[in-house]
């Protein structure tokens, strides 16, 4: 549970206004940044590496051959938004063991693809900044260190901090809101996953989609091709409008 100040609602419209009624919405913006394919390009090297490691893990621990393991990994990713969630639900996999085994990067500094202008953009962006990643916290911290942007963030949330309720599940969001003592109307989620933004919008957050897509879902408030455009785009939280 996220805590006594947060309540859930079956009505997605009402949910935003009642999500954390005990916490006032005042104060500056709180930026929640997804990590992979938002702050850096994970598709180039890191995702293929993780995918191979996950497939190998499923082969070893579930006794599957490679095509079956690969298929199961992708099925859970599509169905739950995170392979981890399917493995926890259907196979009682130990999440810490799985995450540790699948996030080993002996050459991480060679794998992170990012724009050097990221640090400057973050420096000029007013407000609290929190990384909100479905990956393990140690991995998120390591990627931030490689990019040299870790001093710009007030907190780094991995899936362990969400108590293994990854985005797009609202429980993970509620854990963060409660622990950081922040009202959702102050939050701006910056994400490449439209599905994760849908939960954020339901909770009352402002949503920024990092995507080149020509089709923009109704719950997306702002769409940018790159996170680097954020500072000059003038994005504001609902609480500051």
* Residue 108 buriedness (CB in 10 A; 0-12 / 13-18 / 19+): middle
Minimum distance from residue 34 beta carbon to Mg ion (Å): 4
Q: How many chain residues touch Mg ion (CB under 5 A)?
A: 4
- Report if residue 221 touches Mg ion, rule: CB under 5 A: no
Residue span binding Mg ion (CB under 5 A) among the ranges 30-38, 62-70, 90-98, 159-167: 30-38
CA distances from 236 to 35, 123, 202 (A): 20, 17, 17
Q: How many CB atoms lie within 10 A of CB 153?
A: 19
CA distance 134 to 76: 14
Question: Nearer to Mg ion by C-beta: 37 or 206?
Answer: 37
Question: Nearer to Mg ion by C-beta: 37 or 170?
Answer: 37
CB neighbour list of residue 193: distance below 8 Å, 6 or more residues apart: 34, 81, 167, 168
- Report if residue 36 touches Mg ion, rule: CB under 5 A: yes
- Please state the φ and ψ torsions of residue 222, each to the nearest 5 degrees: -140, 145
Minimum distance from residue 182 beta carbon to Mg ion (Å): 21
CA distance 159 to 155: 13
- Report if residue 34 touches Mg ion, rule: CB under 5 A: yes
- Report if residue 37 touches Mg ion, rule: CB under 5 A: yes
Helix (H) or strand (E) holding 237: none
- Report if residue 190 touches Mg ion, rule: CB under 5 A: no
Residue span binding Mg ion (CB under 5 A) among the ranges 89-97, 165-173, 187-195, 225-233: 187-195
Q: How many CB atoms lie within 10 A of CB 105?
A: 18
Question: Nearer to Mg ion by C-beta: 192 or 221?
Answer: 192
- Report if residue 207 touches Mg ion, rule: CB under 5 A: no
Helices (H), the chain: 12-18, 46-62, 66-80, 83-91, 95-102, 108-111, 118-123, 137-147, 170-179, 194-203, 230-233
- Report if residue 15 touches Mg ion, rule: CB under 5 A: no
Structure tokens at 24: 């006032």
Question: Nearer to Mg ion by C-beta: 165 or 183?
Answer: 165
Minimum distance from residue 189 beta carbon to Mg ion (Å): 11
- Report if residue 211 touches Mg ion, rule: CB under 5 A: no
Residue span binding Mg ion (CB under 5 A) among the ranges 53-61, 104-112, 192-200, 206-214: 192-200
Question: Nearer to Mg ion by C-beta: 72 or 197?
Answer: 197
Residues 88, 167, 192, 200: which binds Mg ion (CB under 5 A)?
A: 192
- Please state the φ and ψ torsions of residue 160, each to the nearest 5 degrees: -65, -40
User: What are the residues binding Mg ion (CB under 5 A)?
Assistant: 34, 36-37, 192
């Amino acid at each position: 549970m996220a805590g006594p100040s947060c309540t859930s609602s079956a009505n997605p419209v009402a949910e935003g206004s009642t999500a954390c009624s005990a916490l006032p919405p005042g104060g500056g913006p709180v930026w929640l940044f997804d990590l992979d394919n938002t702050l850096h390009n994970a598709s180039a090297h890191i995702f293929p590496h993780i995918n191979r490691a996950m497939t190998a893990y499923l082969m070893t621990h579930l006794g599957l051959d490679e095509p079956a393991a690969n298929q199961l990994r992708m099925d859970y990713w599509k169905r739950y938004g995170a392979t981890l969630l399917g493995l926890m639900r259907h196979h009682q996999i130990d999440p810490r063991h799985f995450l540790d085994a699948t996030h080993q990067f002996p050459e991480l500094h060679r794998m992170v693809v990012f724009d050097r202008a990221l640090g400057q953009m973050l420096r000029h962006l007013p407000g609290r900044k929190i990384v909100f990643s479905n990956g393990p916290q140690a991995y998120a911290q390591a990627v931030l260190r490689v990019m040299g942007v870790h001093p710009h963030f007030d907190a780094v949330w991995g899936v362990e901090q969400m108590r293994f309720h990854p985005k797009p599940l609202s429980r993970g969001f509620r854990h963060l809101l409660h622990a950081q003592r922040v009202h959702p109307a102050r939050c701006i989620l910056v994400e490449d996953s439209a599905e994760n933004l849908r939960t954020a919008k339901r909770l009352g957050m402002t949503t920024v989609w990092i995507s080149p897509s020509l089709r923009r879902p109704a719950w997306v408030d702002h769409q940018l091709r790159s996170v680097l455009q954020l500072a000059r785009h003038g994005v504001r939280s609902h609480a500051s409008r």
